[in-house]
Amino acid sequence: MSLAVILALAMAIDALIGEPEPLWSRLPHPAVLMGKAVGWADRKMNHGKGRLVSGTLVLAGLVALAWIAGELIARLGWIAEAIAAAILLAQRSLVDHVRAVADALHLSLEDGRAAVARIVGRDTGEMTGPEVARAAIESAAENLSDGVIAPAFWFLLLGLPGLAAYKMVNTADSMIGYRTPQHEQFGKAAARLDDALNWLPARITALLVFLTRHRPGGWAIVRRDAGKHRSPNAGWPEAAMAVGLGVALSGSRRYHGEPVDYPFVNEAGARDIGPAEIDAAVVSLWRAWGTALGLVILIIVVS
C-alpha cells in the first residue's frame, strides 16, 4: 500500500480518536519515551569538554534508534504503520488543547491562564485576557506546523522511519535546543537539524493557513512579518494565522519572571482579542488539516 494511502488513513484516525486518556494513562506515549531518552542523554552526556561533539553524537544515536523503531513497526504491515503514524500526529490533541483555552477563558481569566499554561512555556500568572488569547493562537499556529504538517510531510517522503526520526529531532530541540550555558553547545545539533527539517513544512503550513483564510494583499504581510520571529520557521505559520484572523500576535511576554519585548506580527491587526478569536484559530486548524488531507488524496488519485 502506498505511503499516501497510509498517511490519509493515519490523519483520519488521529482526527477522530486523538490521544485517548484510558490508553495513555496505562501505556507510555512514544513522545514521552522519546523525551525520557533525550533527558537521560542530557543528564549523562552533557558535561565536561567537547559538548558540541557529544551532543551531535547523542542526537545521531537517538535518531538512528527512532528510525530503526519506525522500520520495525512498518514491517508489521500497513495497519500497524497507519496506527503508529496516527499516534505521532497531533491534530486532534492540538485542537482539543487550544479549544480548552477558549472554553476556560469564557469562565474566567484565571481559568484561561491555567489552560494556556498547559501549552506554552512563558509565564502565565499575570497574563491579561488578550495575552492569553494571543498565546493560545500562537501555539496553535506553531504546533500545526511541528505537530501535524511536518510529521505528515516526512511520512510522505520517508514513511514511518522518517516520521519517527523527525519526532525525535523535534523532541530533542524542544528539550535541549536552547542558547543557554547548559545547552548551547550540547543542543546545537538538535536545534540546527530541527530548523532544517522544518524549513519547508513551516512554509507549507503558512500557505495552507493563508489559502483557507485568504485576505487580499495578506501574503506580502506574511512574508514581511515571518522574519520578526526569533525562530527561522515558526514565524511563517504564526504570521499566516495572524493575517488570516486579522489579529496582532507576538508582542511582550515574560519568561521566568523577566519581561521580553518581541515585535508584533501583523501589527495592524486587532489586539483586544479573546475566546472568539481562539475559536476562529481552531477553525483554521481544521481548514488547514482538511486542505492537507485533500492534497494527500489528490496524490493518491494521480499516482
The DSSP line for the chain is: --HHHHHHHHHHHHHHH---HHHHTTS--HHHHHHHHHHHHHHHHS-SS-HHHHHHHHHHHHHHHHHHHHHHHHTT-HHHHHHHHHHH--HHHHHHHHHHHHHHHHH-HHHHHHHHTTT--S--TT--HHHHHHHHHHHHHHHHIIIIIHHHHHHHHHHHHHHHHHHHHHHHHHHH---STTTTTTTHHHHHHHHHHHHHHHHHHHHHHHHHT--TTHHHHHHHHHTTSSSTTTHHHHHHHHHHHTB-EEEEEEETTEEEEEEEETTTSB-S--HHHHHHHHHHHHHHHHHHHHHHHHHHHH-
Which whole-number Å values give the CA distances from 50 to 53, 175, 226, in the listed order? 5, 19, 34
The pLDDT profile of the chain, 303 residues, written as one tens digit per residue, is: 899 999 999 999 999 999 988 888 899 999 999 999 999 999 999 999 999 999 999 999 999 999 999 999 999 999 999 999 999 999 999 999 999 999 999 999 999 999 999 999 899 999 999 999 999 999 999 999 999 999 999 999 999 999 999 999 999 999 999 989 999 999 999 999 999 999 999 999 999 999 998 889 999 999 999 999 889 999 999 999 999 999 999 998 989 888 989 999 999 999 999 999 999 999 999 999 999 999 999 999 998
pTM score of the predicted model: 0.95
- Tell me the torsion sign for CA atoms 20, 13, 104, 123: positive
Nearest to 165 by CA among 206, 144, 193: 193
Distances (CA, A) of 279 to 136, 245, 282: 10, 10, 5
